[in-house]
Amino acid sequence: MPNAMTRLVGITAILVIATPQLVLADEPMELSRRERGDLAIHARAILKQHCHDCHGGAKARSTLPVLEYARLTATGNPVPFVAPKNVTGSQILQFIEDGSMPPGNRPRLKPEEVEVLKRWVAEAAPSFPTAFDDAGTVQSIINDLASHQADAAHLRYFSFSHLVREDSPPPNLKKAESDLNRALASVGVLGDASPEPVDDSATLFRFDVRKVGWDNRQLFHRFDNRVAGGINPLTAYDVLLLEYPHGSLAQGDKRLDEYFASAKLVAPVPFLRADWVSRSLLAEKNEPLPLADDLRSLTELSAALAKEKFPDLGREEKMPCGPKVRPFGNKNPVPLAAKPEAKSPILPFSAWYAGDVQADSPPFSVAAELVSVEGKPLKTIPTGQPFQLKVTAKRNVYFALYLVQADGSVRLQPTNKNGFFDKDEVVLSPGASAPFKIVDVITGEQKATEYFVLLASEAVLPPVNIVRSRHSQGPECAKGLFPIYRLLFDREKQPEGFDPTKLVRKVIPIPVTGAKSD
């Protein structure tokens, strides 16, 4: 058993991640999950720096990989390399203290690093993954789902693992976790609904969408060509998922496929980066961002529909108003595809708060600008003034053009090119001769911004569904509060040869003024 000097004390007293100086408290304190997780991450970083080259690296001299936790703590040896809770009985600490490890002229561990390892062992050696990468995160999710089979369809995951970088100081996950909880609290995720850590390192968090109504599949209905259709199963969590710029197709795994089938996610993304969630919901000064307004409004809508016992479409009563309309108004940078190491990125073409979307190496370039009927560039569009959309592409492309109006409503925009144009320059208009014209600002404002959304591909595009939330549109709704709209690819009707990673999305603002300018 460890003596008093080797017993683990509160992490706030002994380990400050930004400053590795360690201080011993008079009395040991029970560690929180976050503190245990930080200790595991810090211990792993020390083992990686001082032991991995010989024990698992490219020039390994030993068959014991130091970053494989199960092997590290195996009990087959007479003296285990790491014996949880047994500092004096752990071979790694014996070798470090007698000077035989690290071997030769390799740098010795600093006293505070030795102390961290002792305290890690004394605290039962909380585990860490072999690597803090997507593959390890997905494996942790699969393991967790196996332990919660009855609830698996309703579980979602947030990860901090990408913040833990090799050969870099451990990140401040206490702050990152606090930021996540504040951001989720801003949209009503509180108390026992808050995410809980799954792994010892506390880098993966589980979230049950049922606890906040984010599993409700009665929130949206189809609204193609301004005609109301049937219920669309999009959920509040799916709305969050549509904005996500870091998704990529996970390697095929039967258990993961079963999860996707049961969870019925709008995109096959097993987890979200937790810090992305924080930044997308809450600004630095605790100002809720547009996506947060949407999620909060959908949570209210879910409760109202449940109160009415989920009425048929068109028979809703006393539904809440929608959020303030701010399409493409997020302060975050325009998202790109997942990094090149992701072989199959899932591009956020349905994102409502991002602009242009394309792969890091787009298959072709597209440029678009508003022009007068004479072909001159336009900075603003006075109501009643005719205008056109000039598009330049270096390939022959299939395309679809959508108009997003000032109230957030969306419609497919017919054009003179009927969904296909030859390479180089083309001028789009609603028909063979008539140009575009905005008669008035639909919200009644003097100035507003509408948008064209152009989707372009060298292959035929899949159908796109327009969906609208079941929020109230009554006169009691204050100015600027409208239902939520989204554009969704119909994944069940994807044409042969279509590759979503080779699609390009351009968002073209249309600044509208209520009176004709000079």
Res 328: pLDDT: 87
Q: Which residue has the higher pLDDT, 102 or 179?
A: 179
Q: Which residue has the higher pLDDT, 490 or 452?
A: 452
Res 410: pLDDT: 95
Res 225: pLDDT: 72
Res 138: pLDDT: 93
Check: CB of residue 69 under 8 Å from CB of residue 130: yes
pTM, two decimals, is 0.88
How many of the other CB atoms lie within 10 Å of CB of 226? 11
Structure-token pair, residue 177: 């976790």
Res 63: pLDDT: 67
pLDDT 10s digits, 111-144: 999 999 999 999 999 999 999 999 999 999 999 9
User: With bands split at pLDDT 50, 70 and 90, how would you rate the model's confidence at 107?
Assistant: confident
- Of the CA atoms within 13 Å of residue 83, those in its CB half-sphere come to 16
Res 342: pLDDT: 53
pLDDT at 516 over 70: no
Exposed/middle/buried for 463, CB within 10 Å: 0-12, 13-18, 19+?
middle
pLDDT at 198 over 90: yes
Interval 246-270 mean pLDDT: 90
Res 362: pLDDT: 85
Exposed/middle/buried for 66, CB within 10 Å: 0-12, 13-18, 19+?
buried
Tell me the range of 91-95, 245-249, 272-276 where mean pLDDT is highest.
272-276
pLDDT 10s digits, 283-299: 877 788 999 999 999 99
**Percent of the chain, pLDDT > 90?**
62
Res 164: pLDDT: 95
- Of the CA atoms within 13 Å of residue 311, those in its CB half-sphere come to 13
Res 7: pLDDT: 33
Check: CB of residue 22 under 8 Å from CB of residue 116: yes
Long-range CB contacts for residues 414-419, cutoff 8 Å, separation at least 24: 419/461
Rounded CA gap, 116 and 125, in Å? 11
Q: DSSP alpha helices (H): ranges in 272-330?
A: 274-281, 290-307
Please list, residue by residue across 443-453, b when 16 or more beta carbons sit within 10 angstroms of its beta carbon and e when fewer do.
eeeeebbbbbb
CA dihedral 93, 98, 101, 103 (to 10 degrees): 180
The distance from CA 462 to its chain's CA centroid, rounded to whole angstroms, is 24
Interval 368-379 mean pLDDT: 95
Residue extents of the structural domains in the chain: 4-122, 135-213+236-242+252-307
Res 60: pLDDT: 56
Biggest alpha carbon–alpha carbon distance for the chain: 89
Mean pLDDT, all residues of the chain: 87
Interval 334-356 mean pLDDT: 72
292 vs 179, 189, 216, 237, 346, CA distance in Å? 14, 11, 17, 11, 22
Rounded CA gap, 187 and 300, in Å? 10
pLDDT 10s digits, 25-61: 334 568 999 999 999 999 999 999 888 778 765 565 6
Res 12: pLDDT: 32
User: With bands split at pLDDT 50, 70 and 90, how would you rate the model's confidence at 168?
Assistant: confident
SS3 label, residue 488: strand
